[in-house]
């Protein structure tokens, strides 16, 4: 059971304790003597929140019911479009299958009872241990009509990093998708001009991925030579 409580004062239950995708040792993930924090003996699991069972609490159930009903009206089973629904840290997140992302987003935008008119952008996340779903895209949708905020999350494997673009539904996502592509390598199919936005066009790799090398150049400072970041310590 979760420590969070819904509007009725009841704990919000979970169907499981979460998905363990890895184990971290030490405080900062440094190996080969690079961890100088004194916490090198720490061992903890990396866990993603598991699915939440109903009732979700408050208006979360109203949004979930309306979305599921609207998808059924389009002859799409909600279970085919939504992998799981998570209530965690006071936020409602729908984990959407990538092939149904555009339809779910358009439904959330256009349904009068939902009216999530604004997408504030997309952020990328790279979970090395989440095998087959290493790359995640997270969207925050806001309803100006109803004063609500929800999240959509979509995953793709490193071997096939394709996710449909939402620019046709939320035009403000244009540059956000470019930035997520630039740093994480997620390819947003259907984007009008998916090019790098921060890094040079000929840059190799995607700097925000967890397996990206630190790189860098040596710097002189007050007569001392400071090694490049990837030469200072070894990281696991």
Q: How confident is the model at residue 44 (pLDDT cuts 50, 70, 90)?
A: confident
Q: The tokens 């720490």 sit on which residue? A: 42
Q: Beta strand pairing status for 118-126 and 135-143? A: antiparallel
152-192 residue pLDDT tens? 999 999 999 999 999 999 999 999 999 999 999 999 999 99
**Which residues make Cβ contacts (< 8 Å) with residue 73, sequence separation at least 6?**
none
Identify the DSSP state of 224: E
Q: Evaluate whether 87 touches 4 at the Cβ level (below 8 Å).
A: yes
What whole-number percentage of the chain has pLDDT above 70? 84
Question: What global pTM score does this model have?
Answer: 0.82
57-111 residue pLDDT tens? 999 999 999 999 999 999 999 999 999 999 999 999 999 999 999 999 999 999 9
Q: The tokens 């244009």 sit on which residue? A: 174
> DSSP of 158-201, one letter per residue?
TTS-EEE--TTT-TTHHHHHHHHHHHH--EEET-TT---SSS-T
């Amino acid at each position: 059971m979760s420590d969070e409580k819904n509007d009725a004062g009841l704990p919000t239950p979970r169907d499981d304790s979460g998905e363990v995708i890895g184990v971290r040792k030490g405080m900062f993930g440094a190996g080969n003597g690079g961890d100088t924090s004194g916490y090198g003996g720490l061992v903890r699991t990396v866990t993603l929140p598991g699915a939440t069972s109903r009732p979700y609490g408050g208006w979360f159930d109203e949004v979930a019911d309306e979305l599921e009903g609207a998808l059924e009206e389009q002859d799409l089973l909600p279970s085919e479009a939504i992998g799981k629904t998570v209530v965690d840290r006071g936020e409602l997140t729908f984990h959407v299958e990538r092939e149904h992302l555009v339809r779910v987003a358009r439904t959330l935008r256009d349904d009068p009872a939902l009216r999530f008119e604004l997408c504030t952008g997309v952020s990328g996340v790279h979970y090395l241990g989440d095998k087959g779903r290493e790359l995640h895209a997270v969207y925050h949708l806001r309803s100006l009509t109803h004063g609500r905020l929800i999240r959509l999350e979509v995953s793709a494997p490193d071997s096939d990093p394709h996710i449909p673009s939402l620019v046709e539904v939320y035009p403000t996502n244009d540059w956000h998708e470019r930035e997520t592509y630039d740093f994480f390598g997620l390819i947003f199919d259907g984007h009008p001009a998916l090019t790098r936005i921060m890094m040079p066009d000929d840059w190799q790799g995607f700097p925000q991925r967890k397996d990206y090398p630190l790189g860098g150049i040596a710097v002189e400072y007050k007569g001392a030579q400071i090694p490049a970041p990837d030469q200072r310590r070894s990281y696991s």
